[in-house]
Amino acid sequence: MSQTLKAVRGTRDLLPPETALWNRIEATARSVFARYNFGEIRTPIFEDTSLFARGVGEETDIVSKEMYTWEDRARAQSEKPQSLTLRPENTAGVVRAYIEHKLGETGQLQKLYYIGPQFRRERPQKGRYRQFWQIGAEVIGPPSAGSESPLRDAEVLEMLATLLDELGITGWTLELNSVGSAADRARYNDVLRAALIPVVSHMCQDCQRRAETNPLRVLDCKVPEDQPIIETLPKIADCLDEDSKKHFAQVTAALDAAGVPYHLNPRLVRGLDYYTRTTFEFTHGGLGAQNALLGGGRYDGLSEAIGGPKAPGIGFAIGFDRLVLTLQAQQSEQAAEKAAAYIAPLGENMNAAALALARELRRAGLTVELGDGSFRLKKSFEAADKTARRIVILGEDELASGVLTVKTFSTGEQTKVDRTELAKLLLAANGM
């Protein structure tokens, strides 16, 4: 007997009515981004593996453990196979596109947003999937376009606060930190490496390796036994130079002026190597262990790290799946939207006329469900009651007279309506 096929572990199908919520979130995000003058970018879902190795960082969990990578052999025999990877995040792809299309030469700030699936081989749990969706944006450009300004950081954070508010997400917290410039981080890495020497033998295997290769990543460790040791390590705030301190102070001053609340979190270093200066997360208590709704930060050296010109930038990625979970928890039992009308043809010879009537109503902008003439009237009523607010009965008499019977389920009221008036009546009843 053949085994039943199922969606692969860590992936899932999104079905109606839940997809309506996904679409509403997407529409709100597009509307907010448009008001801040962002345009959409769509990059491929797979890229050359070295983009992520160089862009995200070899020592990050993402690159060292979580990528879906394969050797692409479908090339000429003379060529070496190319290593390809399903994108685990989208910033590296956007910056690659920025370099490839010489967007820096416009001299303008590029404000780009994306919405799409990302892939990481993580242990699946609530709010953590192997295929998940992100809504993200990047502000990137040559320094002459103002891309290094702390105002850009503050504007992005203010936009995120606006987006979460417009989505109706309540109770979020903005966690904010600065990881300093590349030089500050190098200094901090040295300080950390030294501080780890006496304690690292008591830490997990991953931390022992990271202490050598990339001590900053020790701060990402989630092993509970390691947390008390991590608490005692020096903080990055003590390693920031004057410029980084000034930049951060200007970000927080602009947030204060705009009335965006935040919480300073000196441990927030984020799990990707490319961040410099401002880093942030928006968290939500309703999400449980995976409480980060979104994360982001500044990446002033990323373009150069992958072979491009100097192009400082700042961006974020929102976990789309987690926005949906948060809103579902808030709205508890969101009522599925019902169709405006269900058309019930009486007898199979009424099917064609029913399709014509449905076409009329749908063209008027109404959501219409179409029954089938093979159904008995009782079955039509039951089906209609589940999917629509009203049933419209179409038999030979109705077709000939042009007067239709309409029943409203919520009130039980049944009326005769002239066919020419039907669309208007249904539109009015739906507040349209």
Smallest separation, CB 12 to ligand AMP (Å): 11
Cβ atoms of 207 and 318 within 8 Å: the answer is: no
Alpha helices in 306-418, H assignment, sequence order: 320-331, 351-363, 377-387, 396-401
Name the residue nearer to ligand AMP (CB basis): 156 or 294.
294
In the complex, least distance from residue 37 CB atom to ligand AMP, rounded to whole angstroms:
23
Which residues sit opposite 131 in a β-bridge? 119
- As beta bridge partners, residue 155 has none
Q: Tell me which residues touch ligand AMP (CB under 6 A).
A: 89, 120, 122, 127-129, 132, 134, 271, 292-295, 317, 319, 321-322
Tell the smallest beta-carbon distance from residue 269 to ligand AMP (Å): 11
Least distance (Å) from ligand AMP to the CB of residue 219?
Answer: 14
Beta-carbon-side half-sphere exposure of residue 339 (alpha carbons within 13 Å): 20
Report d(CA 219, CA 188) in Å as an integer. 12
- Nearest residue to ligand AMP on Cβ basis: 319
Q: CB-wise, 160 or 340, nearer to ligand AMP?
A: 160
Nearer to ligand AMP, 92 or 251 (CB): 92
Q: Which residue, 188 or 275, is less far from ligand AMP as judged by CB? A: 275
In whole angstroms, the minimum distance from the beta carbon of 30 to ligand AMP comes to 18
C-alpha distances out from residue 181 to 176, 265, 300, 308, 407, Å: 16, 17, 8, 18, 68
End-to-end CA distance of the chain: 53
Joined tokens for residue 418: 């002239």
d(CA 180, CA 62): 22
Specify the DSSP class assigned to residue 90.
S
> How far does CA 237 lie from the centroid of its chain?
30
Q: Which is nearer to ligand AMP, 113 or 132 (CB)?
A: 132
Q: Write down the least CB distance from residue 393 to ligand AMP, Å.
A: 47
User: Crossing angle, helix 205-213 and helix 182-196, to 10 degrees?
Assistant: 130
Residue 325 half-sphere exposure, CB side, CA atoms within 13 Å?
23
Question: Could you give the angle at the alpha carbon of 276 between the alpha carbons of 238 and 224, nearest 5°?
Answer: 65
Q: Give the whole-angstrom CA distance, residue 291 versus residue 399.
A: 58
CB of 288 to ligand AMP, least distance (A): 12
Q: Toward ligand AMP, which CB reaches closer, 115 or 344?
A: 115
Give the Å distances, CA to CA, from 265 to 176, 239, 279, 285, 351.
6, 15, 10, 16, 64
Q: Provide the token pair at 78.
A: 């003379």
Nearest residue (CB) to ligand AMP, 294 versus 422? 294
> What is the rounded CA–CA span in Å between residue 212 and residue 375?
72
Residue indicated by tokens 């005692």: 232
160 vs 294, which CB is nearer to ligand AMP?
A: 294
Q: What gap in Å lies between CA 346 and CA 359, rounded to an integer?
A: 18
Cβ 224 to ligand AMP shortest distance, Å: 20
- The Cα-based distances of 294 to 134, 291, 323 in angstroms read 9, 9, 9
Nearer to ligand AMP, 210 or 322 (CB): 322
User: Could you give the CA distance from residue 394 to residue 343 in angstroms, rounded to a whole number?
Assistant: 7
Nearest CB to ligand AMP, comparing residues 193 and 298: 298
CB nearer to ligand AMP: pick between 229 and 293: 293
